[in-house]
Amino acid sequence: MDSLESPTLAPVRARFRALAHAIVPESVELDESGWAEVEAIIEEALARRPASMRRQLQLFIRALDLLPAARWGRTFRRLGPARRTRFLEAVQSSRLFIIRRGFWGLRTLVFMGYYARPAAHAGIGYGARTRGWLEHPDAPEDARRTTREIRAAESDGATHRDRRGRGFDPAAEGGPRAG
């Protein structure tokens, strides 16, 4: 099912954003287009999940918004930053595994949505390179030399080496054949 046909976050958008602000405080600086990017990234990931799981996520977000009312008489969205943090720390360390797991999943989605945006990459100095560390301008020469040596050995069909320098043949050990 396409996430645009049945969006998961739209019905709980205000609640989700309040939680996201507490999980990634920098998200308060997002404008509407930034939030649209975050939510699109998350919706794309959720589109591959069963509808029942998406409904559970919505229910969990609603519950996280309402639960603080039992203690402080206010929903999560109405709490100040200190109480929001205290509440989420309690949720994160709940005795109930399912609550901890739910929060871990929500936090993972928030991190993914926020940090997968190109603007966030630039903000934290992330610059992935297709060839990895070898292309990184700050890579020390010994790392570049080691990477070149490994690639040269692999292209020659030589034996692979583990961290301790011991050789092994991945094909002989059930691994993929080089080639």
The CA radius of gyration of the chain, in Å to the nearest whole number, is 23
Cα–Cα distance, 51 to 148 (Å, whole number):
47
CB burial string 106-120: b at 16+ within 10 A, e below: bbebbeebbbbbeeb
Each residue's pLDDT tens digit, 22-76: 999 999 999 999 999 999 999 999 999 999 999 999 999 999 999 999 999 999 9
* Greater model confidence, 45 or 176: 45
DSSP string, 37-60: HHHHHHHHHHHTS-HHHHHHHHHH
Q: Report the 10 Å Cβ neighbour count for 21.
A: 17
Q: What is the pTM of this model?
A: 0.70
Write out pLDDT tens, residues 114-147: 999 988 877 776 766 656 656 667 777 776 666 6
d(CA 94, CA 101): 10
